[in-house]
Homo-oligomer: A and B are copies of this chain.
């Protein structure tokens, strides 16, 4: 098969450069263009010296015509609102878009506007976007492949990191109808790369090191995205209480989810539901009952690991924990997994590499 040509927009942010790393090793996709507004003209290996001799592509400005001239697919690793401007231009030029920003994740534009505090200027395109969580939405993603094969540009909204981990921990229980209420609590911990590459007081080594803190409590923008996904899984409206924390590591995200379950649910039956749900998933491993996942097991990979426990001493509370790499399954590798599906490639092409075990 001829190589598919890809452009990464925003190639020097953490998600962008992770995409660049993954695409560099992809058997069927070739990096045709990498853009970066601030560093246009430089080689990406000037910014990331570890890429010297591995990927020395020259960064350019994100011009839609240039992207359309060189690329079949564009990955947008940009902040929210930047994608609102660029995606319609790319779709109009026939470029399939995998958007890593938040701009097309929320189906209801008014919810997006309320949480992001900015108008959604691209509602028509939004209507055709597919939310790129393969474990929940694979059929819709595969249906995009048909349209893409017919030459139509399609749009995938790749999920956020916290929504991905929360969803992987909660979906099997919700699908199984175990929950006795409309409430899920997601208490999550992220590494510092989740805060992005721009230096700030919070990302200073001496602040983040030897420190733990909750942030964005009761107001983090991933909240409506989580609720949308949990509601879809449950088949009815679900609410989430979501508390993100920052811990001193670069990569890794752990979501611990609390779901009160009905009387008949046992640890074994819950486990069976999870194991069965993930049995055929190529990138999610269900750990044996009694084991909980570690983020180090998935750091640098495209994989997730999930474990559960049931506290049945008084009420019946299911505690499910999902570990991902926030830049992998929480961002870049999941975007590439979606691209594989949409481009008609093997879902795990370029994603099954073995990663460091420490």
Contacts and interface: CB of A to CB of B under 8 A. Distances in A.
A80 interface: no
A356 B205 contact: no
B200 A199 contact: yes
B199 A203 contact: yes
A277 to B, nearest CB: 15
Interface residues of A, number: 90
Contacts of A24: 354
Contacts of A14: 206, 358
A40 interface: no
B189 A247 contact: yes
Considering residues A51, A252, A296, which has the most beta carbons from chain B within 10 angstroms of its beta carbon?
A296
Interface in A66-117: none
A322 to B, nearest CB: 11
Interface stretch (A137-145, A154-162, A304-312, A338-346): A304-312
B200 A18 contact: no
Interface of A: 14, 17-18, 21-22, 24-25, 48-55, 182-183, 185, 187, 189, 191-193, 197, 199-201, 203-215, 217-219, 239, 241, 243, 245, 247-254, 256, 258, 285, 287, 291-301, 303, 305, 307, 309-311, 313-315, 317, 319, 321, 323, 352-358
23 contacts: A48-B297, A50-B296, A50-B297, A52-B297, A55-B354, A185-B317, A189-B245, A197-B204, A199-B204, A203-B204, A204-B204, A206-B250, A210-B252, A210-B296, A211-B252, A212-B253, A212-B294, A213-B293, A214-B292, A217-B319, A218-B313, A243-B319, A258-B258
